[in-house]
Structure 1
Amino acid sequence: MAVLLLSSLALPQNQTVGALPQNQTVDAVPVGRTVDAALLDCAIRTAPGDPVVMTPAVTTVSRKIHVRATMHLTDCRSSTSVGRLMRTGTVHIDAHVRANCSSVTPLDGQAAITWRDASGHRVGTSTVQARRRDVNSSISDGLLAGQVTRGLMSGAKVSGSITPTSSMSQCTDSGLRALAGSGRVNLHQ
């Protein structure tokens, strides 16, 4: 999961920067239904006013980028007894990737998730370790990749996708330092 958001920078090969969707909303998963036999499925989005921060800025030149973000998990649905307690969460991400405006390769990193129940009470935490990929990720590949190594849902694999909700047009011009987005994430076996 620490690979997370920067993979959303990669444009599909047949899409131009200006053609990305703006302010796209996330569809809810109906109650009682999980996606692809997920142990837990949640909507994910960047915190309002707190986008993913990339240092140095992502440009057309591939280089190592430090990614920091706070994300919100909402509308979590599960078929497991432990997962049913986990209705929302806050994800803190600290990762490194090799990236340019058209591709992202995860290097290392982790995410810390604090889970809350329907009443907003803390029910536990999870630590997710990034899953290094040898191939470049793109927006269409899905960008949330990792495995829960500690805490709730330990051992579960993490996957999902995020679509940028902020403009990426500055990536090829002056470089992209911040990015907002939303999508879905799931934990599965």
Structure 2
Amino acid sequence: MRNRIVLAAAAVLAVGASVLSPHPAAQAAAPHAVRAGTVLACDGHTAPGAPVTIQPALSSREKSTTVRGKLLLDRCVSPNGSVRGIRSGVVTFNLSGKASCTTARDVSGGGRVTWYSSGDRTGRPTGTSVLDSRGPRSWAPGAALPTIVVRSGTLAGRTITAGPVGMPRMLKCSTRGIGSLSGAFWARAS
């Protein structure tokens, strides 16, 4: 089962150290998080065999942490028709901050989305977006997530709101730590 991600990079940038179920196939598919003003929505997933990495692994103790990953975006659509020629994308990101199993703060970093007009992320790219986090630089389960801004390139000036989909595995995190994650995210670009 393919996990759904709507501009997945934004979700990971916003969440940074959120902890999701370890088996993406076990996640229930997330509905598109499309609301009035949404300009782009995509389905996506972590790259096969390449989960998001967390160094050092999250634990119950807060520490300086780096989160890196690559996400694949598929079946991109523009609900309001304002974005044309984007059908898929590849997201790379690198974040750092202080994090534990239950919180992340002072999150900084960014990411890049390479967009394609093909549905399978092949051929010549149609554009790129450079992403930065903005707003509150902390997060806790159940709290609103920081906003991501498209600093330059395709969708420049747009904001992205995001959140994780699935059951957090906090108990496993506090007893075993978590050094990687795979799972679904939702996000809206408006």
Which TM-score applies when normalising by structure 1? 0.78
The residue type paired with residue 187 of structure 1 is A
Q: 1:73 to 1:144 in 2, by over 3 A?
A: farther
Q: How does 1:1-150 map onto structure 2 within 5 Å?
A: 1=10, 3-9=13-19, 23-27=26-30, 29=32, 34-78=34-78, 79-81=80-82, 83-118=83-118, 120-121=122-123, 122-138=125-141, 140-141=142-143, 143=145, 145-150=147-152
Fraction of identical pairs, as percent: 23
| Mean CA deviation greater in 118-127 or 161-170 | 161-170
Instruction: Supply the RMSD in Å over aligned alpha carbons.
Output: 3.1
2:127–2:153 Cα contact (<8 Å) kept: yes
**Per the alignment, in what secondary structure is the counterpart of residue 39 of structure 1?**
coil
The residue type paired with residue 140 of structure 2 is S
CA shift digits 1:70-94 (9 cap, x unpaired) = 011222221244x231111110010
Gaps of 5+ in 1: 11-16
2:89–2:114 Cα contact (<8 Å) kept: yes
1:106–1:132 Cα contact (<8 Å) kept: no
Q: 1:44 to 1:169 in 2, by over 3 A?
A: farther
Q: 1:145 to 1:48 in 2, by over 3 A?
A: farther
